[in-house]
Amino acid sequence: MNTVNQHVPALARPKLVLQAFHLCKARSKVEDAEVIWDTLADLATPLRIADLEKLPKLTQLERDRIVKLAEDTVNSYSREERQQLIVPLLPDLDGKTLQIDIPASLTSPSVKVAIYPAVIHDSYAIDLTRCYENSQFTVTELGKHLNPKGCLLPSSVRASIGQTLLLFGKPVDWPENEAEFVEVAKGFALALLQDAALNDRTELHLSGQGKFLGGSILGFESEHPN
């Protein structure tokens, strides 16, 4: 499953991070404030993370407490203090992330998962990280493992403020020419959409690039509404 042909560009030890932000009802009074938790629970099956089904219940008491606290004391904080306040929603973990190791199956490699739900000012914030430390994927393999059926796209996650997908990994057998390197990177970014039933003409546009600790950083944006 993880055997890569020689000279075919691949991404080793890939890590995909979903960061999603959704208005909570503490100050916004939005009717669908809690829908983000049901959405995350729905991801349990395609991502093989059973604990996501428990997340709405795990965070419920803390969410209710924070909402009441915000409604009762919001005026006691300055605007700057409210914007910087980050409250974790899994108090039993003492503010740390929920760490899960998922073993390999017949069709999927092992993966390390980290889940961090929190409240930031008037919004719920979710960080869902999945790291395939012992795997490397070609462009044709990436999407089905990291984003099966496009389940992490905005149309599925439904985060009211927005979301970002961050893909990390070590390039293997990528071209040294910068223009060719960018095209290969774009192919891997598009691979995250391959199971999403999008239009074949969906395009990604390079929105920025740079270097960090000797590695390349590339940002792509899509005009597709999903």
List, for residues 139-166, the tens digit of each pLDDT value.
989 988 999 988 998 888 999 999 999 9
Q: Rounded to two decimals, what is the model's pTM? A: 0.85
In the chain, pLDDT over 90 holds for what percent of residues?
37
**Residue 191, CA distances (Å) to 38, 66, 194, 220, 225 in order:** 26, 39, 5, 13, 17
Q: How confident is the model at residue 199 (pLDDT cuts 50, 70, 90)?
A: very low
What residues contact residue 173 under an 8 Å CB cut-off, 6+ apart? 6, 7, 8, 9, 10
Please enumerate in sequence order all residues whose Cβ is within 8 A of that of 62, keeping only pairs 6 or more positions apart, or say none.
87, 89, 90, 91
Angle between helices 51-73 and 35-42 (to 10 degrees): 170
Better-predicted residue by pLDDT, 46 or 201: 46
Cβ-contact 22, 160 below 8 angstroms:
yes
Q: Give CA–CA dist 154/193, Å, rounded.
A: 11
pLDDT number for residue 180: 92
- Written in H, E and C, the secondary structure of 196-220 is CCCCCCCCEEEEEEEEECCEEEEEE
pLDDT at residue 217, as a whole number: 87
